[in-house]
A and B are shown apart, each in its own frame.
Chain A
Amino acid sequence: MGAEKPKADLLPGTLDMLVLKILMRGHLHGYAIAQLIQQLSDDLLRVEEGSLYPALQRLELNGWIEGEWGLSATNRRARFYKLTSDGRKHLAEESARYRQVTGAVARIMGFA
């Protein structure tokens, strides 16, 4: 019930990892995270708002990120997220796993 619906333009399960990776850069609010994912992927990956906020809630619930209120560049109240040490650990685990899986897929597909 109610978990995120995987969007066609993002591999399922990767959004959490991407958000964590982006947050390695520092404290960011939700909009900035979405923008950064889009920019860094050269506009290839689009993050649906409908997936982003559930993902943020889930990461926070698991204790991987922490949100706190602050002022944005335009002087508006925004919620900034930062990575926790648990989050760092989780990111390392996830990227290792992801690398393994994509490597395997690539080998089968003959990309490698």
Chain B
Amino acid sequence: MRAGSRWKVLRRRLRYWLAHSERHRLLWEEMEFHIESMADDLVAQGMSPEQARAAAHRKFGNMTQKSEEARSIWIARWMSDLAQDLRHSFRGMRRDAGFTAFTVLIAGLGIGASSTVFSVVNALLLRPLPFRDPGRLLSVTNGDEWTAVQTEHYSDLRELNQSFSDLAGWSGFYFPGDKELTGAAEPERLTGVPVTGNFFALLGVEPAIGRTFTAEECQGRYSAPPAMLLSYDFWRRRFNSDRGIVGRKLTLNNNPVTVVGVLPASFDFASVFAPATPIDIFIPWPLNDKRKPSGNTMKVVGKLKRGTTIERAQAEFTMLGKQLETQHPERNNIAPRLTPLAEQVSGRVVPALSVLACAVGVVMLIVCANLSNLQLARLGARQKEIAMRTALGAGRSRLLRQVLTESVALSCGGAVLGLILAMAGTSELAHLHAFNLPLLKSVRVDGSALLFTLLAAVGSGVLFGLLPALRVTAPSLRESIQDAGRGSSGGRRHAWLRDGLVVSELAFACLLLVGAGLLIRSFLRVLDVNLGFQPERAAALRIDPSFRISSFPQQNAFLDEILRRTRSLPGIVAAGITDVLPLRDDRAWAVTGAGQVYEKRHQPEAYVRVVSDGYFEAAGIPLRLGRPFSERDRASSERVAVVNETLARTLWPGRNPVGQMITTDGGRRVVGVVADVRHAALEAAGGSEMYLPMRQTADYATTQLVVRTALPPDALAAALRTALRPVDPNLPVREFQTFQDLVDRAVSPRRFLVLLLSGFAAFALILASLGIYAVISFSVSQRVQEIGIRMALGASTGDLQRRIVLRTLGLAALGLTLGMAGSRALSSTLATLLFGVTTGDPLTFIEVAGLLLGNAAIAGYIPAWKASRIDPVVALRSN
């Protein structure tokens, strides 16, 4: 057939299909005319009109069938069947509004949860990073997976290597809010990241407006960058998306700086590289400036050449690292380690997300088992109808299709609800700024999530509909009709199936409960950890002076004044100043005791904190030995330091550290020992720490005033700001942070996991309880007569109730046994996520068993109680 006419045929087919009911009516009329004409001819041959009509009809045959045959020329049979089945389903749904609502609700909750988790997994793990050629981007670290590289090593590696088309770097040594924008409007603290000139080009990021840095702009001074790029969010917030800002001169840290461009909205540096810290600006990083921070400060990312493998690149870099170490003994160690960027960004969330994905899958299975059971009961009640239709010639596949259409239609209804829930859920998640998870901002319901939802809907519809459909349409016609006639338990032969479904629901619920239980207990253990400081009633306020501090007397006068004014406020118990806050920022120096010699590779390192007197008290860090810093530790007095217990043990094992000398920072005498502080994470010990008195050094980037208060800290924020205003009228004192916030933020990924998993487990428990309740109620309602007879024969209500509850507990125990065995086998997959509990934690298992059995007992007792109120006379008379 010619293409043109095929197209015409298709159009006609569509037109017929759209007007199918009208067309069908006309076809019918046409065939009636045919029969009448036949009858007319028969009358003409001498038949009576009635006989003629009857004969004509007989000859023509089944009009419905004929018309359907004719119609099937342009409307495919399955399509009209589908439409019919759907109409049938909707009629059924309207009839059983309660069942429909319940099904749509729980299918919706299940699908909603699945789609939300899928969207998170999709954003964090599946979707490629939002850069050009993300698959070729590798992260280059030093030794382990997070240590940065020295800029000198970076320059050499970039020059010498053959594997990468380019290497770029950004500074890991920036602090939130360490730049200050003054001049136009209100002064504001900004977070700025120094990057190498080729950083954006390597990632394939083009500025939305303007340009990236020129080579010349990358030659200036580290402390006074001549140019900056604005992040999209910052541009919108601060400059109201004013395109004219590009090319303007602003003042950054008291130096003139030109805005050269605005980055596109799609470039979200923070969500990829530094979750939960919004980045405002990017500045060029002059690698040749001798006064830039030295040490391992550069995070390096490289783009692999086409045709090269990561293994080959790794081999080359290992060799280059060794070569550089021998050539430059004066530099830090370098042992380059290559990791795919995507893996480095979201690798650490893989275990948690896998657990979530499995959990949501299990929830879906429970939902399906539950709905399957309901559907089974419902179709059981319609057994008579189905048997009748089979008797009238409905084929089994046709009936199967009809039942499945109904369940898929129901689950699609659920999917609509689920999609709404998933959209709400994902937008909620994407706005959880406090959550320290990469790429969380890009979580949304996208095309693939829509597809996933559709598949989940159809899949779960088939899954929960198939078993009941197969059972009810099983060719056992006689039995059904007889059954129906007798009015006895039409559903008894499905009993084992129902019990099996409930047992599997309980087993799955048990899996989830054990998982959630272990994680909750880990979470509680984490919250119970001895932090080394006391977060309650402690808070920090950023107080970096707006003026440039040029001398020790000026700096110390500023510190004295701040502390004096703060301490005079009512409600302040203690006050001190530090440069880094626990659980937030960090930097490490090599440290050696006087007279000690270490091999370069085993050189002890300590995290350095620069603090004033009163800090230990304000943060609640207990003193173990010696004395804390005092106001007398000044530039003119002896250079001193305080160490933590770990550093004391490392440098002077078994000896009194107080009075010992360390060679770091020009030599300092240890005057005290304080407790270890958990600085990196709640789960990990903080390592060696060294405290330097703030009045003896200028080597710190930020100034944080830490206060311990008698009242909740928030109540004092305003008073504190007012009290400090006279010291420095331009003091930007916006960022007020309680120590509890720091702790909360540090545990936020764990809290995220625990919340979601507990939600799933609770949902599973409710569903399993409902399932067991439904099954027991159903079996009671099927056995009303039997119960009536038993009671008439003198069975006590107590006896009856015991029997029913015991049956329930029997099912629960079976489910529990299976679930426990499964949990024991699977809980090892949780091992990396647990803290302070073992995968076989007996308490968790016992609690879960108690919870499940208790719930099952309640779910079984209600129908038992109802059964015991059955009036034997009524029960025997019924039917």
CB within 8 Å of B: which residues of A? 1-4, 29-31, 34, 49-50, 53-54, 56-58, 60-63, 69, 72, 74, 76-79, 86
| CB <8 Å contact, A50 and B9 | no
Q: How far is the CB of B707 from chain A (nearest CB, A)?
A: 81
User: Which of A3, A50, A62, A78 makes the CB contact (< 8 A) with B66?
Assistant: A50
Report B-chain residues with C-beta under 8 Å of the C-beta of A53. Answer: 27, 30-31, 66-67, 69-70
Against A, the Cβ 8 Å flags (1 = close, 0 = not) of B27-70 are: 10111011011101000000000000000000111000111111
CB within 8 Å of A: which residues of B? 5, 8-9, 12-13, 16, 26-27, 29-31, 33-34, 36-38, 40, 59-61, 65-74, 76-78
| CB <8 Å contact, A63 and B73 | no
Q: A1-B76, A86-B5 are in contact. List 7 more A-B contacts (CB 8 A).
A: A1-B72, A3-B73, A29-B30, A57-B74, A61-B74, A72-B33, A72-B37
Identify the interface centre among B27, B30, B68, B72: most chain A CB within 10 Å of its CB: B30
| CB <8 Å contact, A61 and B33 | no
User: Given contacts A50-B69, A61-B12, are A2 and B77 in contact (CB under 8 A)?
Assistant: yes
Q: How far is the CB of A45 from chain B (nearest CB, A)?
A: 16
User: Which of A29, A61, A69 makes the CB contact (< 8 A) with B73?
Assistant: A61
Report the separation of the CA atoms of residues A1 and B67 in the bound assembly, to the nearest whole angstrom: 14
Report A-chain residues with C-beta under 8 Å of the C-beta of B31. Answer: 30, 49, 53
Report the separation of the CA atoms of residues A72 and B16 in the bound assembly, to the nearest whole angstrom: 25
| CB <8 Å contact, A62 and B9 | yes
| CB <8 Å contact, A79 and B73 | no
| 19 A/B residue pairs, CB under 8 Å, sorted by A | A1-B72, A1-B78, A2-B68, A3-B72, A29-B30, A30-B31, A31-B33, A49-B34, A49-B59, A50-B61, A53-B30, A53-B31, A53-B66, A53-B67, A57-B74, A61-B13, A72-B33, A78-B33, A86-B5
Report the separation of the CA atoms of residues A54 and B73 in the bound assembly, to the nearest whole angstrom: 6
Q: How far is the CB of B263 from chain A (nearest CB, A)?
A: 58
Task: Give the nearest-CB partner of A62 in chain B.
Answer: B9
Q: How far is the CB of B75 from chain A (nearest CB, A)?
A: 9
Task: Give the nearest-CB partner of A50 in chain B.
Answer: B66
Report the separation of the CA atoms of residues A34 and B52 in the bound assembly, to the nearest whole angstrom: 18
Task: Give the nearest-CB partner of B5 in chain A.
Answer: A63
Report A-chain residues with C-beta under 8 Å of the C-beta of B27. Answer: 53, 57
Task: Give the nearest-CB partner of B36 in chain A.
Answer: A76
Report the separation of the CA atoms of residues A67 and B72 in the bound assembly, to the nearest whole angstrom: 18
User: Given contacts A1-B72, A61-B13, A74-B40, are A49 and B61 in contact (CB under 8 A)?
Assistant: yes
Q: How far is the CB of A23 from chain B (nearest CB, A)?
A: 15
Report the separation of the CA atoms of residues A54 and B67 in the bound assembly, to the nearest whole angstrom: 8
Q: How far is the CB of B534 from chain A (nearest CB, A)?
A: 77
Report B-chain residues with C-beta under 8 Å of the C-beta of A56. Answer: 70
| CB <8 Å contact, B33 and A76 | yes
| CB <8 Å contact, A54 and B33 | no
Q: How far is the CB of B237 from chain A (nearest CB, A)?
A: 62
Report B-chain residues with C-beta under 8 Å of the C-beta of A76. Answer: 33, 36
Report A-chain residues with C-beta under 8 Å of the C-beta of B71. Answer: 57
Report B-chain residues with C-beta under 8 Å of the C-beta of A60. Answer: 12
Report A-chain residues with C-beta under 8 Å of the C-beta of B13. Answer: 61
Report the separation of the CA atoms of residues A60 and B12 in the bound assembly, to the nearest whole angstrom: 9
